[in-house]
Amino acid sequence: MHMEKSTDLRKQARSAFIRSSAFQRLILIAVLVLLYGFFYLASPSFRKYTTLVQICSNMYYTLLMAIGVTFPLITGGNDLSMGTGLICYSLIGSYLMRIYGWPLWAAILITIGMGVAMGAVNGFGVAKLDIPPFIMTLASMMFCRGMGSILTGGFSGTWPDGAEPGAEFRNVFRLIVKTDTGRMPVPLGMIWMILLVIIMSLVLNKTRVGRYTIAIGSNKEALKLSGVNVLKWHIFAYMICGLFTGFAAVTYAATFSNITPGQGAGFELNAIGAAIIGGTAMTGGSGSVFGTFLGVLLISLLQVGLPFIGLNADWQLLITGGILLGAVTIDKMRNGK
């Protein structure tokens, strides 16, 4: 860690463009285009509009987590509790609806609320008790993994679906329009996602939350000396992550029906991986929401695309692993050792 910090100045001294994360994003976009083109040529059925929809609806919850985790990552931290947390929250949400007959909106609020709360806990542990972020969130990850089924007694939940009342909330993510040729799905969710990406990049670059998030990652001591209440903003960064995990939980429940406890471990790794691919540095201080967006797009494109070219499932793992390594290596090359 502290080696990176020490060479920071020399890093920055290098040519501005290569250094700029814009460059990394450019590479990423190029890769995306190439990959899409490749799939496009390789498989006729991939060309269908519906495949695009598939790619979109496949990425919603990962994207939300990734946007969230971008903030802790920029502070130089991490959040491993997202995956199991996501399942835990949406599970409890559905439990309240099914068993206690809570209304949908209340369940949604609780689900998101729990996310924020867990974020606050993580933030407190990291910022106040200065527990290494990795350990703190590892602990809350294990905690969530158990908590879901402890509270619901091993019940596996479903959110309203099909004809049930409240099932409409799924239309928030997928609108069906009738055309003369038949029905056509419109990935409404994508619009919200893009909206969120825009909003969060604004938050990151144009508000105090974002400004101090970057500052914490860049030089926490300096920020303290400037008389900023570091503790508050540091916790805030984790709460944002929690909030988006909450969103992700709802989205997950909306796009897939059945939520099984004990699942979800590993979701967060995709999200973190995506953020890193998007050019957010593990050392903190720099990162961009748009980059994260591209990162998730890449992963989703792979997950959906690879089956189309008849590549056996297990190769997908190999390739995603390879791409992750590649991305970080490029990043290193850019910034020098």
Partner 1 sequence: MGEVILTMKGIDKSFPGVHALDHVDFEVRSGEVHALMGENGAGKSTLMKVLTGIYTKDAGTITFEGKEVEFHNPREAQQAGIVIVHQELNMMGHLTVAQNIFIGREPRRGLFINDSAMNDEAKKLFAQLGIEINPKETMSSLTVAKQQMCEIAKAISHDAKVIIFDEPTAALTDAEIDQLFVIIRDLRAKGYGIVYISHRMDEIKKITDRVSVMRDGQYIGTLVTEECTKEEIIDMMVGRVIYEEPKTESHCPPDAPVVLKVEHLNAGRMVQDVSFELHRGEILGFAGLVGAGRTETARALFGADPKQSGDIWINGKKVSINSPKDAVEAGISYLSEDRKRFGIVLKKSITENSTLATLKNFTRGMFINKPKEAEVTQKYVDALKTKTPGIDQLVMNLSGGNQQKVVIAKWLVNDSQIMIFDEPTRGIDVGAKQEIYELMTRLAASGKAIIMISSELAEILRMSDRIIVMCEGRKTGEFDIAEATQEKIMSAATRDIDMQNRKPVQEGEAS
Partner 2 sequence: MKDLLNRFKSLKLVRIMGFNRVVLIGVIIVLCLIFQVLSAVLNHGNVFLTYARFTSAMNYGYFIGFLALGVTFVIATGGIDFSVGPVMFCAALISGYCFNNYGFPMWVSLIMCPLIGMVFGTVGGFFVSYLHLPSFITSLALMQIAKGVGSIFTKTQNVSWPGSSDPGGWYRSLSNLDITVGGQRVNIPTGLIILIVVAILCSIVLNKTKAGRYMICLGANREAVRLSGVDTRRWEMLAYVICGTLAGFAAIFYVGCYTTVQPVKGDTFNNEAIAACVMGGTSMAGGLASILGTVIGSFIIAIMQEGILSMGFNIAFQYSLTALILLGAVIADVMSRRRRN
Partner 3 sequence: MKKLVALVLALVMVLGLTAAFADDYHFEIVSKGFQSTYWQAVLKGATEEVEKINAEGKDKITMNFVGPDSESDVAQQVQQFTSALNAAPAAIGFAAVDQNAFNDLLKEALEKKIPIIGFDSGVPGAPEGAVYANASTNNYVAGTVAAEGMWEKIVARIEAAPGTVRIGEVNQDATGESVTQRGLGFIDKIIELAAAKGWKVAVIGNEFYVNGVKGEKAAEADAKIIIEAKVPAQSTVELCANEASVLLNEDDLISVFGSNQVAAEGVVAADKNLFKCGTGDDTVIAVGFDSGATLKAAIREGVMYGAVTQSPVGIGKVTIDLLLASAKGEPVADTDTGCAFYTLENIDTPEIADNLYD
If one asks whether residue 333 binds partner 1 (CB under 8 A), the answer comes out as no
Candidates 55, 127, 249, 276: give the one binding partner 2 (CB under 8 A). Answer: 276
192 binds, among partner 1, partner 2, partner 3, none (CB under 5 to 8 A by kind): none
Least distance CB 86 / partner 1 (angstroms): 28
11-70: which residues touch partner 2 (CB under 8 A)? none
Q: Helices in the chain by DSSP H: which ranges?
A: 2-13, 16-19, 21-42, 49-74, 82-100, 104-123, 133-152, 188-206, 208-225, 230-255, 267-277, 289-308, 313-335
Residue 298's alpha-carbon distances to 42, 122, 252, 275, 302, in angstroms, are: 17, 29, 19, 11, 6
Contact in structure between 128 and 233 (CB atoms under 8 Å): no
x-or-dash string of contact with partner 3, 95-124, rule CB under 8 A: ---x--------------------------
Size of site (CB under 8 A) for partner 1: 28
Q: Given the DSSP bridges, would you call strands 157-158 and 258-259 parallel, antiparallel or unpaired?
A: antiparallel
Candidates 25, 145, 170, 174: give the one binding partner 2 (CB under 8 A). Answer: 145
x-or-dash string of contact with partner 1, 168-207, rule CB under 8 A: ----------------------------------x---xx
Q: Based on CB atoms, which residue is closest to partner 3, 113 or 307?
A: 307
Residue 89's alpha-carbon distances to 43, 76, 77, 97, 147, in angstroms, are: 38, 26, 22, 13, 9
Picking from 326, 289, 285, the residue whose alpha carbon sits closest to that of residue 77 is 285
Q: Based on CB atoms, which residue is closest to partner 3, 33 or 176?
A: 176
303 binds, among partner 3, partner 2, partner 1, none (CB under 5 to 8 A by kind): partner 3
| Cβ neighbour number for residue 3 with a 10 Å cutoff | 9
Contact in structure between 16 and 319 (CB atoms under 8 Å): no
- Residue type at position 297: L
Give strand pairing partners of 312.
none
Compute the C-alpha angle 72/76/82, nearest 5°: 30
SS3 191: helix
Least distance CB 238 / partner 1 (angstroms): 19
If one asks whether residue 228 binds partner 1 (CB under 8 A), the answer comes out as yes
Candidates 129, 182, 221, 227: give the one binding partner 3 (CB under 8 A). Answer: 182
If one asks whether residue 128 binds partner 1 (CB under 8 A), the answer comes out as no
| Cβ neighbour number for residue 284 with a 10 Å cutoff | 24
Size of site (CB under 8 A) for partner 3: 40
Least distance CB 216 / partner 2 (angstroms): 18
Binding site for partner 3 (CB under 8 A): 45-46, 48, 50-51, 53-54, 57-58, 98, 149, 154-156, 158, 161-164, 174, 182-183, 185, 255-258, 260-263, 303-304, 307-308, 312-314, 316-317
